[in-house]
Structure 1
Amino acid sequence: MTASTTGAAVSRPSARQRRRRGTAAPYLFVLPALLLFAGFKLYPIAWSFVLSLHRKVGATETFVGADNYLRLAEDPLFLTALRNTAVILLVQVPLMLALATGLAVALDSTLLRGRPVFRLGFFLPMVTGLVAYGIVFSVLLNEEYGLVNWLLGLVGIDPVPWLTQGMWARISLGLALTWHYTGYNAVILLARLQTIPRELYDAAAVDGAGAFAAFRHVTLPGLRPALLLTTVLSTIGTLQLFDEPYVLTGGGPDNATLTVGVYLYQNAFKYFDFGYASAIAYALTLLVGVLGLLQFRLLGEKS
């Protein structure tokens, strides 16, 4: 009896062992997710960096160090793609966010009837597939048989080379991006707008502030966190822009709509220069990080 009792006591886990098992249990539950993240995220990121230090010579990969990164500064096509992306970022993004802010204010107005219907209507473009809406715009803006030029012809305006002339191709790309993303940003701003206390508007009215003064001193400061969020998201999306220019113009005409994302794709899957494409990807990542930090510094809350 004593021996069996002693054996049971020996086989029973100690308090320390139970604590260790309890500490390890959460890690066992997240282990599958960690393995998937490591296999499908960390490993490709690390291998992409390794590729960026190599160049394919014949059938072999040759280590070239930082040559691919130095090549970026001397590559006229990369500089063209960077300039085109910067133009979209500096022109289209502020215009889109200004429209989204005005739209959010309009959708929050009590004077508007059927507000849920309008909110849904303006958000619907966001759920449209990138390739699908790119194809739709390419058909609408076709110079010969597009609906837009047909409507312009009804009022006596000559056909516009929307997708075959550099300036008009950039405008077409900007129109497509604005149509697709304005409603999405407006919904984010609207959600923030609805959290601003109405008492602030009442106090501003008592002090004699008009509609513009209330917008400037109450609405805009209240929207600041949402404006920061939409600005950062729009900046990241613009720097990674690929689907729309690839479907609409393929980066043309004459590289007028060539973006960094399209150029990266061309180097990787058209020229099979994976080392240089990886260097472009890491340069783009650095650019996104730097611009994101600058925007947080400039637009973030001041302590």
Structure 2
Amino acid sequence: MTVLTQRAGAPPAKRALTRRGRPAGTIAPYLFVAPALLLFAAFKLYPIAWSFWLSLFRTDGALQTFAGAANYRRLVADPLFWTALGNTGIILLVQVPLMLALAMGLAVALNSPLLRFKGFIRLGFFMPMVTGLVAYGLLFAILLNPQSGLVNWALGLAGVDPVPWLTDGLWAKIAVGLALTWHYTGYNAVIYLARLQALPKDHYDAAAVDGAGAWHRFRHVTLPGLRPVMLLTLVMSTIGTLQLFDEPYVMTGGGPDNNTMTLGLYLYANGFRYFDFGYASAIAYALAVIIGILGVVQFKFLGDKP
């Protein structure tokens, strides 16, 4: 059998070229990703671009007229928009840190070598996450009903007066925050737990040899190790809270007196209740800008330092 070898110093063999002069085989990868790119363009890029174009129009009944930046100027002067933004900001600043702190403590507890039946307990804390948003919103609306809810009934047995969970502005915000905390704490705890189990045990052993107590090990070993997932959960929770819709829609409908009106709920009301799609699109883009700014700030202060 004859074996062909390339002579030393000879130029390498050239790859076959297509008719347009490109190396053969470079088109194949694009053909494989083309279906995904087409779907992304059809169901992501096109709606985003169309929404921006729609935000430049004013809706008058069935008639749409080009208005330029009028919807964005209206946004700045709209008191209900600022009310919705304020309500969303309060939930973000109060509920998200509390939820993530609970998730971190829960993850540390679930990672304890002294804990028995770990798999069953972890599953129990994660189960709320698989509950549908509307389903658990209705569940909390029933439990926290001021007149016939199970929570007020239990408080009555303890001698506590009924709490106006869904009929008072402050308590309605607390009710929404409780629902969010119940639903998402276990999910974030599982993320923290996965990171905890990946931390090298040598670091804890070295800290123990140096005389570090449980608090110092948590502060100087656990927290730095959790930093990447802390950023991840904070960014995801921030985005999710700014888009909050299902819980206030099901539990309070944005009331009482717009005290639980969120940006997502206000966007929905303008788009699908008043059919003012131009203004709803402007709200959507304002929300996207807010999310982008907060994301940049969070990466700036919590991201890896060079």
TM-score tier, shorter chain, comes to over 0.9
Whole-Å Cα distance in 2 between the matches of residues 97 and 41 of structure 1?
Answer: 30
1:53 equivalent in alignment to 2:56: yes
Which residue of 105, 123, 134 corresponds with 2:137? 134
Whole-Å Cα distance in 2 between the matches of residues 301 and 17 of structure 1?
Answer: 45
1:86 equivalent in alignment to 2:89: yes
Count of aligned pairs: 290
1:149 equivalent in alignment to 2:152: yes
Whole-Å Cα distance in 1 between the matches of residues 207 and 234 of structure 2?
Answer: 28
Q: TM-score, normalised by structure 1?
A: 0.93
Q: Is 2:16–2:24's contact at 8 Å kept on the other side of the alignment?
A: no
Report what 1:11 is aligned to: none
Report what 1:16 is aligned to: 17
Structure 1 regions of 5+ residues with no counterpart?
1-13
Report what 1:114 is aligned to: 117
Q: Equivalent residues in 2 for 1:273-284 (5 A)? A: 273-284=276-287
1:163 equivalent in alignment to 2:180: no
Q: Return 29-38 or 76-85, whichever deviates more.
A: 29-38
Report what 1:8 is aligned to: none
Q: Equivalent residues in 2 for 1:1-303 (5 A)? A: 15-17=16-18, 22-303=25-306
Question: Per-residue deviation at 1:57?
Answer: 2.4
Name the SS of the counterpart of 1:109 in structure 2: coil
Whole-Å Cα distance in 2 between the matches of residues 213 and 40 of structure 1?
Answer: 49
Structure 2 regions of 5+ residues with no counterpart?
1-14
Whole-Å Cα distance in 2 between the matches of residues 217 and 25 of structure 1?
Answer: 50
CA RMSD of aligned residues (A): 1.3
Question: Per-residue deviation at 1:21?
Answer: 5.2
The structure richer in helix per residue is 1
Whole-Å Cα distance in 2 between the matches of residues 103 and 148 of structure 1?
Answer: 24
Whole-Å Cα distance in 1 between the matches of residues 230 and 117 of structure 2?
Answer: 26
Q: TM-score, normalised by structure 2?
A: 0.92
Question: Per-residue deviation at 1:73?
Answer: 1.2
Whole-Å Cα distance in 2 between the matches of residues 59 and 292 of structure 1?
Answer: 37
Whole-Å Cα distance in 1 between the matches of residues 25 and 205 of structure 2?
Answer: 55
Whole-Å Cα distance in 1 between the matches of residues 24 and 54 of structure 2?
Answer: 41
